[in-house]
Amino acid sequence: MSDTTFSSSRIGRIGGLLMLALAIAYGIGGSQIDYAFASDPLGPRVVPVLLAIILAVLCLFYLKNPGTAEAFPTGQLLVKIVAVPLLLLASALLLEPAGFAASIFLLTFGVGWIFGAPLRLALIGGVGQAALWWFVFSYLLDVYLPVGQLFG
Amino acid sequence: MNLDYLWNGFTVALTMQNLLIGLAGCFIGTLVGALPAIGPINGIALLIPIAYTMGLPAESTMILLAAVYCGAEYGGRISSILLNVPGDAGAVMTALDGNPMARQGRAGEALMLSGLSSFVGGVFGAVGLALFAPLLAGLAIGFGPAEYFVLMVFAFATLGSMVGSQPVKTLIGCTLGLMLATVGLDATSGAYRFTFNEPELGDGIEFVVLVIGLFSVSEALLILEHQASGVTVIRELGRMTARLDDIRKSIGATLRGSVIGFIVGVLPGTGASVSSAVSYTTEKRISDTEGTFGKGDVRGLTAPEAANNATACGAFVPMLTLGVPGSGTTAVMLGALMLYNIQPGPMLITERPEVVGGLVASLFIGNVLLLLLNLPLVNIFARVLTVPNWLLVPGILVLSVVGVYSTHASVFSILLMLGIGIIGWLLRKAGFDMAPIILGFVLGHVMEVNLRNALAISGGDISILFQSKISIILWILAGAMAVMPLIAGWRKAKRMKTATS
């Protein structure tokens, strides 16, 4: 147990440092915002700079005691965790060229399989969901969805 | 007291269309609550784009979302009792006594009793909302920009002291939300801030994209990590009516839970997870004389259930009258109102009585519908718990993708949602709550505009923030809220010291 808490608090510290870096970058960016005129005494720069200072101070408190955090996934679980966003990325990029049905099939089949469905069931689930959601959105709710060049 | 807005609201809420929308919302809400994979916040976030593209008017959308919100507070108990896994954050405490009851073969009784106490809590909260909303709106009508700014400082102070295990994490969340709200065109100066020359960020980060990213995408990753293998649904429901004895025994607990729940709901930002915890610990202190809490005591079951439903209604009080959401879920609903170009505040009740009245009236109707849905149909909802994650999670992801894509037909939105989702997952693993980010984001723009307007009025003199009586009271309240966790921590340390010696 002590092992995971140690690594967790270290992960918390890395996160705290990243947020501190974000605060500094955001503050510098905020102090350099270009504007031609300001109709109020504060202008567009002051609030971002204030927020950057607040976040930086809070990060210092956080770094002092990051508290408990969950351990990072490893091994096979890490592969699965990385695969889900990659599938989302792929289906987002395929949405317009390949169309809604194909891209949603990829997403539902892939994620279903990652979540432990046997291959056959994942395939059936993917086809079924692609058809179901196409019907619900295109016919029942009249939401615009790309047909794609594959079928269009 | 003038309750005309409420009577008119009933004529809005009782139209055929709005009744059907409310019924659908109650049904969806109970499902959303019962399924551990999806809570009220992402349930509502996924519905907003659908309601918007269907062209529903503002009041119908609000009725739909409010019904989902209340329904989720009812539904959460089902998985708490039958699975020992809370269906949503407000139902964590329900499992403590509800699941032991189910294991003793009294699942049916537990479901009925908690359904009844949910109803009492919900109706109590709705009555409170109907009475308090006009009062608070009347009080706030004299608020100027300075008072509004201080009010929001108070809201963040409350949030920091009440939500989450570590105030600093909650406050970092709020600040991140406020920072995200600065992205886009600054209306007073015409400057583009933090858009990185990306035209799609010109109008700022889209609300739906942020909420769905933070809740749905990160939730999918967390479910994958925590996929439990040993959870079993209790199928033997036993007798499906509550015993009169138990009802009598839990009347006090239910009423106390309702009061606590409503008050916590009215406080800015503190939702059902806080109120159910406070009411459970209070009830335990009052009633647990024989050490039966945690072993299936009906009072430990009914108190938090009444509380989380009263909270859902109470949370609308500050949202509708001050424009400051009373919980994470009402923060999302506030964002939905803003999509309709409605900025909630003390004038809303007079300017858009159909929205406020319709919403409040629909809560009364919704609670009756929910009681009718939840008592006889509880079996059906219980069966939904057996839907496997490999079907459910892809479904939620499809709704997420379609939801963010449909509003502007832009792939960029999906990519932004994905990026936000991954960051949200990392933050949640480090113990950060997502609701403060949403709250900061929703209030960020209004807070900045009010601060800048206040200082424009005073010509840059900061003392305008401390001038009126209302501002001073709000500063004092904010200060009291900020030191509260310090005092509590000090008392705890002292108690531990005396315990060890």
The 10s digit of each residue's pLDDT in B238-297 is 888 888 999 999 999 999 999 999 999 999 888 888 999 999 999 999 998 888 999 999
Question: Within a 13 Å sphere around the CA of B390, how many CA atoms are in the beta-carbon half?
Answer: 18
Residue range B445-449: mean pLDDT, rounded: 92
A18: closest CA of chain B, how far (Å):
12
| Average pLDDT value over all residues in chain B | 91
Q: Is residue B117 scored above 90 in pLDDT?
A: yes
Query: Of B168, B405, B426, which has the smallest distance from its Cβ to A62's Cβ?
Result: B168
pLDDT of B217: 93
Q: Do B227 and A15 touch (CB under 8 A)?
A: no
CA distance B117 to B119: 5
Domain map (residue ranges) of chain B: 4-228+236-500
Q: How confident is the model at residue B161 (pLDDT cuts 50, 70, 90)?
A: confident
Segment B173-182, tens digit of pLDDT: 999 999 999 9
| Same domain as A82, residue A43 | no
Q: Do B418 and A12 touch (CB under 8 A)?
A: no
Question: Of how many residues is chain A composed?
Answer: 152
A1: closest CA of chain B, how far (Å):
17
Cβ-Cβ contacts under 8 Å, A65 against chain B: 166, 168
CB B41 within 8 A of CB B437: no
Cβ-Cβ contacts under 8 Å, A27 against chain B: none
Segment B132-149, tens digit of pLDDT: 999 999 888 889 999 999
Q: Do A44 and B193 touch (CB under 8 A)?
A: yes
Cβ-Cβ contacts under 8 Å, B212 against chain A: none
Residue B301, token pair as written in the block: 């079951």
CB B396 within 8 A of CB B220: yes
Residue B221, token pair as written in the block: 């990753």
A33 touches chain B (CB under 8 A): yes
Domain contains A106: yes
Nearest CA-CA partner of B148 in B384, B371, B345: B345
Nearest CA in chain B to A146: B409
| Same domain as A79, residue A52 | no
| Same domain as A134, residue A79 | yes
Cβ-Cβ contacts under 8 Å, B448 against chain A: 47
Q: Is residue A6 scored above 50 in pLDDT?
A: no
| A37, A79, A115, best to mutate vs chain B, most B CBs in 10 Å | A115
Could you write out the DSSP letters of every residue in B169-236?
Answer: HHHHHHHHHHHHHT-EEETTTTEEES-TT-GGGTT-S-HHHHHHIIIIIHHHHHHHHH--SS------
Could you write out the DSSP letters of every residue in B437-454?
Answer: HHHHHHHHHHHHHHHHHH
Segment A79-93, tens digit of pLDDT: 999 999 999 999 999
| B149 to B177, B322, B423, B470: CA distances (angstroms) | 16, 11, 29, 11
Domain contains A39: yes
| Same domain as A107, residue A85 | yes
Q: Is residue B413 scored above 90 in pLDDT?
A: yes
Q: Is residue A8 scored above 70 in pLDDT?
A: no
Q: Do B168 and A61 touch (CB under 8 A)?
A: yes
Residue range A18-22: mean pLDDT, rounded: 96
Cβ-Cβ contacts under 8 Å, A41 against chain B: 452, 455-456, 459-460
pLDDT of A5: 44
pLDDT of B230: 55
B442: closest CA of chain A, how far (Å):
15
Q: How confident is the model at residue B1 (pLDDT cuts 50, 70, 90)?
A: low
* Chains A–B, number of C-beta pairs less than 8 Å apart: 193
Q: Is residue B229 scored above 70 in pLDDT?
A: no
A20 touches chain B (CB under 8 A): no
Number of domains forming the structure of chain A: 2
Using a CB cutoff of 8 Å and minimum separation of 24, what contacts does A117-125 make?
A117/B388, A117/B390, A117/B391, A121/B390, A122/B390, A125/B390, A125/B391, A125/B394
Boundaries of domain holding A86:
75-140
A101: closest CA of chain B, how far (Å):
11
pLDDT of B98: 94
Share of chain B above pLDDT 70, in %: 99
| Same domain as A132, residue A79 | yes
pLDDT of B501: 66
Segment A36-60, tens digit of pLDDT: 777 788 889 999 999 999 999 999 9
Residue B383, token pair as written in the block: 């069966």
Nearest CA-CA partner of B223 in A84, A11, A8: A84
Residue B114, token pair as written in the block: 């908690």
Residue B284: its H or E element: helix B272-287
CB B17 within 8 A of CB B60: yes
pLDDT of B21: 96
Q: Do A141 and B422 touch (CB under 8 A)?
A: no
Domain contains A99: yes
| Same domain as A51, residue A89 | no
pLDDT of B160: 86
Strands (E), B444-494: none
| Same domain as A125, residue A84 | yes
Nearest CA-CA partner of B152 in B318, B21, B338, B330: B318
Nearest CA-CA partner of B193 in B416, B453, B445, B415: B445
pLDDT of B314: 95
CB B51 within 8 A of CB B93: no
pLDDT of B375: 86
Pick A152 or B138 by higher pLDDT: B138
Domain contains A92: yes
Distance of CA B433 to the CA centre of its chain: 13
- Least trusted range by pLDDT, from A29-38, B294-303, B310-319: A29-38
Nearest CA-CA partner of B472 in B158, B161, B153, B159: B153
ipTM of the complex: 0.92
Q: Is residue B366 scored above 70 in pLDDT?
A: yes
Q: How many CB atoms lie within 10 A of CB A144?
A: 11
Angle at which helices A75-98 and A100-114 cross, to 10°:
170
Share of chain A above pLDDT 70, in %: 93
Distance of CA B37 to the CA centre of its chain: 16
Residue B324, token pair as written in the block: 């400051």
| Domain edge (last residue) among A64, A84, A99 | A64
Query: Of B175, B191, B422, which has the smallest distance from its Cβ to A85's Cβ?
Result: B422
- Residues near B235 by Cβ (< 8 Å), separated by ≥ 6? none
DSSP letter at B466? G
| Same domain as A84, residue A56 | no
A144: closest CA of chain B, how far (Å):
7
Nearest CA in chain A to B448: A47
| Same domain as A85, residue A35 | no
Give alpha helix (H) positions in A39-118.
46-64, 75-98, 100-114
pLDDT of A50: 96
| Same domain as A83, residue A57 | no
| Domain edge (last residue) among A43, A64, A85 | A64
| Same domain as A82, residue A39 | no
CA distance B332 to B71: 16
| Same domain as A83, residue A52 | no
Segment A116-142, tens digit of pLDDT: 999 999 999 999 999 999 999 888 888
Cβ-Cβ contacts under 8 Å, A50 against chain B: none
